[in-house]
Amino acid sequence: MEQDKLLRLLNDVRNGGVSPQDALLKLKMEPFEDLGYAKVDHHRSLRHGIPEVIYGAGKTAEQISGIIDAMRAHGNNNVLVTRVTPEKAEELGKFISVEYDAVSRIAIYGRKFEAKTKGYIGVVAAGTSDIPVAEEAAVTAEALGNRVERLFDVGVAGLHRLLSRLDVLMSAKVVIAVAGMEGALATVVGGLVSCPVIAVPTSVGYGANFSGLSALLSMLNSCAGNVSVVNIDNGFGAGYLASLINHIGEAEA
Amino acid sequence: MEQDKLLRLLNDVRNGGVSPQDALLKLKMEPFEDLGYAKVDHHRSLRHGIPEVIYGAGKTAEQISGIIDAMRAHGNNNVLVTRVTPEKAEELGKFISVEYDAVSRIAIYGRKFEAKTKGYIGVVAAGTSDIPVAEEAAVTAEALGNRVERLFDVGVAGLHRLLSRLDVLMSAKVVIAVAGMEGALATVVGGLVSCPVIAVPTSVGYGANFSGLSALLSMLNSCAGNVSVVNIDNGFGAGYLASLINHIGEAEA
Amino acid sequence: MEQDKLLRLLNDVRNGGVSPQDALLKLKMEPFEDLGYAKVDHHRSLRHGIPEVIYGAGKTAEQISGIIDAMRAHGNNNVLVTRVTPEKAEELGKFISVEYDAVSRIAIYGRKFEAKTKGYIGVVAAGTSDIPVAEEAAVTAEALGNRVERLFDVGVAGLHRLLSRLDVLMSAKVVIAVAGMEGALATVVGGLVSCPVIAVPTSVGYGANFSGLSALLSMLNSCAGNVSVVNIDNGFGAGYLASLINHIGEAEA
Amino acid sequence: MEQDKLLRLLNDVRNGGVSPQDALLKLKMEPFEDLGYAKVDHHRSLRHGIPEVIYGAGKTAEQISGIIDAMRAHGNNNVLVTRVTPEKAEELGKFISVEYDAVSRIAIYGRKFEAKTKGYIGVVAAGTSDIPVAEEAAVTAEALGNRVERLFDVGVAGLHRLLSRLDVLMSAKVVIAVAGMEGALATVVGGLVSCPVIAVPTSVGYGANFSGLSALLSMLNSCAGNVSVVNIDNGFGAGYLASLINHIGEAEA
Amino acid sequence: MEQDKLLRLLNDVRNGGVSPQDALLKLKMEPFEDLGYAKVDHHRSLRHGIPEVIYGAGKTAEQISGIIDAMRAHGNNNVLVTRVTPEKAEELGKFISVEYDAVSRIAIYGRKFEAKTKGYIGVVAAGTSDIPVAEEAAVTAEALGNRVERLFDVGVAGLHRLLSRLDVLMSAKVVIAVAGMEGALATVVGGLVSCPVIAVPTSVGYGANFSGLSALLSMLNSCAGNVSVVNIDNGFGAGYLASLINHIGEAEA
Amino acid sequence: MEQDKLLRLLNDVRNGGVSPQDALLKLKMEPFEDLGYAKVDHHRSLRHGIPEVIYGAGKTAEQISGIIDAMRAHGNNNVLVTRVTPEKAEELGKFISVEYDAVSRIAIYGRKFEAKTKGYIGVVAAGTSDIPVAEEAAVTAEALGNRVERLFDVGVAGLHRLLSRLDVLMSAKVVIAVAGMEGALATVVGGLVSCPVIAVPTSVGYGANFSGLSALLSMLNSCAGNVSVVNIDNGFGAGYLASLINHIGEAEA
Amino acid sequence: MEQDKLLRLLNDVRNGGVSPQDALLKLKMEPFEDLGYAKVDHHRSLRHGIPEVIYGAGKTAEQISGIIDAMRAHGNNNVLVTRVTPEKAEELGKFISVEYDAVSRIAIYGRKFEAKTKGYIGVVAAGTSDIPVAEEAAVTAEALGNRVERLFDVGVAGLHRLLSRLDVLMSAKVVIAVAGMEGALATVVGGLVSCPVIAVPTSVGYGANFSGLSALLSMLNSCAGNVSVVNIDNGFGAGYLASLINHIGEAEA
Amino acid sequence: MEQDKLLRLLNDVRNGGVSPQDALLKLKMEPFEDLGYAKVDHHRSLRHGIPEVIYGAGKTAEQISGIIDAMRAHGNNNVLVTRVTPEKAEELGKFISVEYDAVSRIAIYGRKFEAKTKGYIGVVAAGTSDIPVAEEAAVTAEALGNRVERLFDVGVAGLHRLLSRLDVLMSAKVVIAVAGMEGALATVVGGLVSCPVIAVPTSVGYGANFSGLSALLSMLNSCAGNVSVVNIDNGFGAGYLASLINHIGEAEA
């Protein structure tokens, strides 16, 4: 697409519709708007086919609100803000009306995309402490228009809890496996399903978990071939990536 | 499916067609064959819809040949053997006829699946030393019936080499990004495309690359949201996973 | 016992049967014999109730033979030598007659203890590459007089292979779980059985397994409460420890 | 047992007493109760022969109380809650009556099992700062019905303190060795006793102890063959595992 | 220069202008003044041709003020204080008049050197969270008399943001590249420009960034040959070093 | 000495002056007193020839006071308490009269030993932030009766500061070198003096100092042969060890 | 420049001299030539103003020769090949005439640039084992047309060796400091000179040097502000970067 | 001394006996001789009062011989060469007559200093595999004129072996404790003796010993206050340092 656009622009230059100088300027200026504290990229949602996403950690409520305003001015009416603490969510509410989910720590501006996919994303979490990360993945995926099925507290030390829900797992189009400690869930799930599995190590645990290193290494070394891994506690990335996969084939249907 | 089968078996028990003792036995015995040095799983290829794969490292040519024989006896005529050194490939040839690719170190028994997918997998490699890993991914994907497009030696320190092939990248259904050293390729590619990117860190480099740790950490911390990571040098895993993603929507088409 | 002995010695001193000087000398001289390159501890087998064990790595065949001779001279007719390469085993055979097992790399002098325990030790290994370590554990345990049941190639990415042998696992008095890569086997087995599980991480794998670190951390962080861990590739330690546990209650029976 | 039950269920299906559909449902539904924030496993205490245990860290007092209620409703009147801060213990007291031990940070609902074992567990701690972890192990073991003997502040830099209590150590059926800093206690104790030793590294220390890594590595590399290791600061795991070992042979007595 | 001075001193000794004892004293006493809590080096600014710099972290406002006083007494009227929190800046203001920049956390006593260099330093930052470190570099460089051009929020996952400002980058005499997370910016910038690039890894990120390790390793392994690296978050060092490079050739102009 | 005593005790047993049972009891009971929270070792100061030392971190003021009381009751009138925060020092003052030094965080009960050694200990610190650790070493050494010479803020990036005090360094009997960051001071000092150098890495620094790891590794790899290293921030250990060395030859003088 | 070229191309499109399709093609095809195993970038030497450089490790003599041929065909008559073992150099000589330096392991095709810079680069190495890395830096710099002064075996444990050559150091325009083990040389040199210092940690040493980690961390934490660091053993990078700095101001002179 | 000399030189300058230029030259030229591949420091043996030492690893036999020749020419007739493999020793013998010890891998040119110290150094080694490192320490110490007592194979898992030789340990003036694996020996020895203990971690072990890291960390965290640590496998450093300590007070006697 970027290429199509370049070709079109070059055609316009040839036709005299656009001067070379303007073309150069256009190439440089168009894609984003500079708010000083952030460059808002108004093309990204079009290019990637999704609502805009703001990583909320390390930004003030006022900055977040300002970025949403800029997006809104360009017609983006769906914005996801991740890593928002309850305190920041409250403060953010003074500037702009958002829907806040305390477990996943996600604030949503505008309406979530409706879940219109036939396929669904399975989100599996090992322990109760892993739920915030799992919910970050699940809420992200839902906001991006996906059907999501949750299976929480199904750690592999009590295998029957997982096996009793095998049917849900095995019909998913893609599975997100969230686990801290020894992170074995990803491998067991990877062996049970035949779809792609996105593993999210969490920092849950203590001592020799070294803040998530144990689960991370465990998942990277999974002997199941359909497992790939994202950063420790990166629920958003897993939800985003799962959405990309879940939407394949849907548009054409 | 596993569930359907269990239900059918239970029905057979009810009907008296199968005794409870036999049912128990059946549940326990069926799924694999024990060769002594390996348990060959004859259901896996059916379950996962792919040729059988043997991880060749640490197995003798004779053992590999034995496993292929057992598979063949159950009707699996397509087997992929990874991590086969040229020496082992030669020895393997004494037992069984395989096609060997020296760059990817993959031996294939039987015929590769034909590439009948409409979508293709882009395989991008940063440097020439990353090619063996990239080829392991590419050959795996091809063997699993995928169309593959290769872009090698396009490291981000010479960005124009990558940008000049942007069209190939941007039309891929899924991209595999292979890089050692600083592993920056995964993030740059992740930002350029809107499809899933599977990042493969390699052990290529020296000194503070700590046998692939630098590229691994770099890729796990990618600021591009569509990137997930597999183990260092794990070309096979990337190819296998990319194939799963590339086949989504194809069967229905 | 050490205390009983001290008390007895003190009584002898009181009775005049032993002079204070001799008592002091006795305390210092008795427990071992100095071969120059090793101090052979002739009391240890009595104290610990097991055959003598020699760690073979880093000792020459001649040194090993010399140590066995010294042991034999004190009535120890059962000696286990671990980490013996085939080459060293051959050379050792020139000095002394031993039985050598090439998979576990263990050489045994004298006869193995007969397995007279009622309870047995389950030895579970994830992959075929983990078998040498698992056999080091199993052969050690057998040499120490234990009944052993082996379950090899039952990695958790193919859960049915493990579940089909659940009965063997669940009746064991203690289980040794041997796994490399992501080491998930220990946790899954720990959740399935109610006896102690000794986890042995192996260095099997590549890349981000960092020579066994991934399996080690995974096992240390196991969410199953009945799992403890020994050093990477330490099959001997696991077999020895399992034997201690398996013998509890047996003597009294 | 799981297998016995499956066989019985299959027999019921054959007899027509249970329909296949109901059997499938039963298999899936029975083992646990879903509280939303946790899946309570009512079979586990039966399967493992112990009181229920709740890992208290990361759960609210209300959630803990809710889980205990669910357990109580299924007849489990003994519940151990670990990692409970004094503040949480106080809050928990508002919901349910528990006995709280501030040193081990354990809250007990119901009565502790009576210590009826003949054998006892030795709990050895190197320094005064290691006592909380040692008490977590000791109180856990006592709650599970074991006799426990404590030896605290017996670090190996003052060997006579440990040697003066050798008799207590040498008569134990299993020993738990708790130490931070250089963790040498585990090896010295391992060499003195002939029973299994469970080593618990603690995060006690500073600088190059790297939050417990020094003691952990020290214990994993112990040259004593009867030592296995649990996670850093994991007193509960050690107490639980020691209880399993201490109960061997007891039931039959 | 140090040598010239020594030679001159030796000549003075020869000429009898300075006694050997005085010369020795002079050599030992001259270069710094001892404030008790710090040795102030009054020659350094002369030797290095720059304002004095005080590392503010870990020093009280009173100590900082005292050091500035001592410098002032020796004619140094330009002092830069780094790592000053807003609270400390306020307290420092009670002792001495400084100009404080809250983003870079730098306090400046006296006037900044005027930017009289023809060449300029490009300061490039990947994300908004990297700005404080980037500003520490930029303000340091400006204080040392350099012209600085800033390009912030130009992370490589949105390559067009960086490419649109290529002209600024390519005309710089030296570039400082500041990035956390995967740190890929340094390599991409290194490939685009032909001047020296000083890479500053930041601790921005979470999980497997391990407090800046990921960006640090990434930058050290850069496949661009013109990149060198300073400590994590060390904006000052990068600014100082860039100033040294930017001043080369200027003095002669 | 321990041996002399044993011989004497054995003689007493022989003479009938002591019964064997009493001898055993004596061996076990004598060396320390059990306060419940600590075992106070009344022989240690005699054996080691120094005042008693209490590691204050992790002990309450009341516990510290109790231990001092027990020591005093056995005639130890000199006690050093390390790692005492100002708050704890104040609270400790309510129980017992101690002299507190806020920089070294050491509280002393009783009088310091007088410095009667002819030789002295040089304590060298690289930066002002290293002073607390250096003072812990210096005050410890002084309390143990040593003459101490301090050289602070003599980091090797300003070599003349160190060289100007070379005379002090070169006449020391033993030198303690305290440095954080790159820890180069230890090697430079090691090369300048011919006496033993005890290196103390500190956690001073940020980023890639990884809490003292950089200085620790630097000092362990020192190319000066007379350097040995203690734990990060372990000023006490260095002072104690330096005192042992400084006292050699003194007693005989 | 890249921008000028784009503008010119756009002008050509406007003028009708180039069709949009051709322009697009031109943008994509021009910058490099694809040899299959490598993309040779014929613009790079122009852009960066230096001879071409080939990283020889992991390339066969034949591949290296092929790349040189391709470069030669585009008028590049100066090629530097790094990391060439003596064996490979000999084999390379069969294909093409190169000058080989066995210490630095560099092969040069064509003539080295003449050293016409007024300023020179000081290359300082701590120990004799660091010389190969130092020579890689020095020979690289010389090949790029720089005057180089070498100071080898001047480790800081023998400070006088370094100080005796202070004059050479202090007149350099940029210094490369090469050291393994504790890497202190970089900091000491950084404090002595006022020009930029490029530190090269080497893997020289053993034990706790962890293959260069000790020197790397030491250099990154240098308390001298003018020090930046390249990868372990990366002599080439240091030489290349130093050349860039040394040429500043020269062209204009 | 260095200072005395400087003063004398300055006096000579004043007296006109030495010109300033000559003085400067003298300061620069005197201390060492440049062999090209090494700077031989002829003052060091005088300054440090010991034979010259050459670190043999990484030097050819010819280079070693050349350095010895240069030393000899300046009157140094005692040279110690460490880390000499048997092969290199043989080759070295072709150039120069040395005495070679195969266990410690040390070659000695000239005669060893006679052991004339009253005090002795205790060298304690945990296992037989630690003996080469222990011998490097012992032979070094002997070559430097010390009396040495060896206690080998006294690992703490068999405490009686160590305790039986307590008398030897307790009379030493300084003890070197050599251990791999868990390195507990250093702490136990440190607690038993009251003299300084130099701990040498070795790389002996496997798996989680991480090439000596386990013993290194263990020793650094020793709870015995009289322990300091040198690099992994650094027997020479320990022997050298122990000699410095052992000679204190001797000269005066």
Query: Is C36 in the F-facing interface, judged by CB distances under 8 Å?
Result: no
Distance CA B158, CA B139 (A): 26
- In this prediction, residue B42 carries a pLDDT of 47
- Chain F CB contacts of H195 under 8 Å are 244
For the segment F157-178, what is each residue's pLDDT rounded down to a tens digit? 878 778 777 778 888 999 999 9
Burial of H73 (0-12, 13-18, 19+ CB in 10 A): exposed
What is the rounded average pLDDT of the residues B239-248? 95
Nearest to H153 among C39, C44, C211 (CB): C39
- Chain G CB contacts of H234 under 8 Å are 207
Please judge whether E156 and B155 are an interchain contact, meaning their C-beta atoms are less than 8 angstroms apart. Answer: no
Whether D116 contacts D146, CB under 8 Å: no
Tokens of D40: 């309570």
Query: Is H80 in the D-facing interface, judged by CB distances under 8 Å?
Result: no
What is the rounded average pLDDT of the residues H145-171? 85
Residues 212-231 on C with a CB inside 8 Å of A are 213-215, 217-224
Q: What is the pLDDT along chain C (253 residues), one digit of tens a residue?
A: 344 565 676 677 777 777 665 665 555 434 445 555 555 554 444 444 567 888 898 888 998 999 898 888 877 788 999 999 999 999 999 999 999 999 999 999 987 677 778 899 999 999 889 999 999 999 999 999 999 999 998 888 877 778 777 778 888 999 999 999 999 999 999 988 889 999 999 999 999 999 999 999 999 999 888 999 999 999 999 999 999 999 998 854 4
Q: How many CB pairs under 8 A join A and D?
A: 49
What is the rounded average pLDDT of the residues B191-215? 94
* D214 CA: distance to closest CA in chain B (Å): 22
The sheet carrying H52-55 orders its strands as H52-55, H79-82, H106-109, H99-101
C-alpha dihedral (D24, D27, D28, D29), degrees to nearest 10? 110
Query: Is G19 in the A-facing interface, judged by CB distances under 8 Å?
Result: yes
Q: Regarding predicted confidence, which is higher, F33 or D142?
A: D142
In DSSP terms, which residues pair with H183 in a beta bridge?
none
C-alpha dihedral (F180, F182, F188, F194), degrees to nearest 10? 50
Distance CA H14, CA F174 (A): 35
Please judge whether F207 and E39 are an interchain contact, meaning their C-beta atoms are less than 8 angstroms apart. Answer: no
Neighbouring subunits of D (3+ Cβ pairs under 8 A): A, B, C, F, H
- Of B191-195, C150-154, D199-203, E166-170, the range with the lowest mean pLDDT is E166-170
For the segment H92-148, what is each residue's pLDDT rounded down to a tens digit? 999 999 999 999 999 999 876 777 788 999 999 998 899 999 999 999 999 999 999
Neighbouring subunits of C (3+ Cβ pairs under 8 A): A, B, D, F, H
Distance CA E45, CA E108 (A): 15
Distance CA B13, CA D17 (A): 12
In DSSP terms, which residues pair with D148 in a beta bridge?
D121
- In this prediction, residue A75 carries a pLDDT of 74
ipTM computed for the complex: 0.83
Alpha helices (H) along E39-157: 44-48, 61-73, 86-95, 131-143
Counting DSSP H helices and E strands in chain A, the numbers are 11, 11
Distance CA A227, CA C123 (A): 27
Mutation test of the interface with chain G: which of F188, F210, F221, choosing the one with the most G Cβ atoms within 10 A?
F221
Q: Is a pLDDT exceeding 80 seen at residue H158?
A: no
Work out the percent of chain G whose per-residue pLDDT is above 90. 53
Please judge whether H7 and E14 are an interchain contact, meaning their C-beta atoms are less than 8 angstroms apart. Answer: no
Q: Regarding predicted confidence, which is higher, B117 or F231?
A: F231
Q: How confident is the model at residue G101 (pLDDT cuts 50, 70, 90)?
A: very high
DSSP codes of every residue in B225-244? TTEEE--TT-HHHHHHHHHH
For the segment D1-37, what is each residue's pLDDT rounded down to a tens digit? 344 565 676 667 777 777 665 665 555 434 445 555 5
Query: φ, ψ for residue D25 (rounded to 5)?
Result: -60, -45
Q: What angle do CA E108, E109, E115 make, to 5 degrees?
A: 60
Q: Is a pLDDT exceeding 50 seen at residue E129?
A: yes
Query: Is E42 in the A-facing interface, judged by CB distances under 8 Å?
Result: no
What is the rounded average pLDDT of the residues D100-109? 94
For the segment G168-222, what is each residue's pLDDT rounded down to a tens digit? 888 899 999 999 999 999 999 998 888 999 999 999 999 999 999 999 999 999 9
- In this prediction, residue B29 carries a pLDDT of 39
- In this prediction, residue D46 carries a pLDDT of 41
- In this prediction, residue A4 carries a pLDDT of 57
Whether B187 contacts E157, CB under 8 Å: yes
- Chain G CB contacts of E239 under 8 Å are none
Q: Is a pLDDT exceeding 80 seen at residue D72?
A: yes
Neighbouring subunits of E (3+ Cβ pairs under 8 A): A, B, F, G, H
- In this prediction, residue H50 carries a pLDDT of 61
Alpha helices (H) along chain F: 2-15, 20-29, 44-48, 61-73, 86-95, 131-143, 159-163, 166-170, 185-192, 213-220, 235-247
- Of D39-43, D242-246, G95-99, H85-89, the range with the lowest mean pLDDT is D39-43
Neighbouring subunits of A (3+ Cβ pairs under 8 A): B, C, D, E, G
- In this prediction, residue C158 carries a pLDDT of 78
Distance CA D228, CA F110 (A): 45
Query: Is A210 in the E-facing interface, judged by CB distances under 8 Å?
Result: no
DSSP codes of every residue in C43-109? THHHHHTS-EEEE-TTS-HHHHHHHHHHHHHTT---EEEES--HHHHHHHHHHS--EEETTTTEEEE
Please judge whether B230 and A230 are an interchain contact, meaning their C-beta atoms are less than 8 angstroms apart. Answer: no
Fold of B120-247: Rossmann fold (3.40.50)
Tokens of A91: 């403060």
- Chain C CB contacts of B32 under 8 Å are 158, 160-161
For the segment A179-227, what is each residue's pLDDT rounded down to a tens digit? 999 999 999 999 888 899 999 999 999 999 999 999 999 999 998 889 9
The sheet carrying E106-109 orders its strands as E52-55, E79-82, E106-109, E99-101
- In this prediction, residue H117 carries a pLDDT of 82
For chains G and D, having 3+ Cβ pairs within 8 Å is answered no
- Chain D CB contacts of B19 under 8 Å are 14
Q: What is the mean pLDDT of chain D?
A: 84
Instruction: Give the residues of chain F that fall short of pLDDT 50.
Output: 1-3, 28-32, 42-48, 252-253
- In this prediction, residue B194 carries a pLDDT of 86
Please judge whether E38 and F153 are an interchain contact, meaning their C-beta atoms are less than 8 angstroms apart. Answer: yes
Distance CA G153, CA G125 (A): 6
Q: Is a pLDDT exceeding 60 seen at residue D92?
A: yes
Q: Regarding predicted confidence, which is higher, E116 or C121?
A: C121
Q: Is a pLDDT exceeding 50 seen at residue A168?
A: yes
Q: Is a pLDDT exceeding 80 seen at residue G235?
A: yes
- Of B18-27, C196-205, H189-198, the range with the lowest mean pLDDT is B18-27
Query: For chain C, what are the domain ranges?
Result: 31-110, 120-247
- Chain B CB contacts of E209 under 8 Å are 217, 221
Q: What angle do CA B108, B111, B116 make, to 5 degrees?
A: 115
Q: Is a pLDDT exceeding 90 seen at residue H192?
A: no
In DSSP terms, which residues pair with G147 in a beta bridge?
G120
Please judge whether E16 and H14 are an interchain contact, meaning their C-beta atoms are less than 8 angstroms apart. Answer: yes
Distance CA F22, CA F40 (A): 22
What is the rounded average pLDDT of the residues E207-220? 95
Residues 6 or more apart in contact with residue D22 via CB below 8 angstroms: none
User: Which residue of E lies nearest to B127 if distances are taken between CA atoms?
Assistant: E223
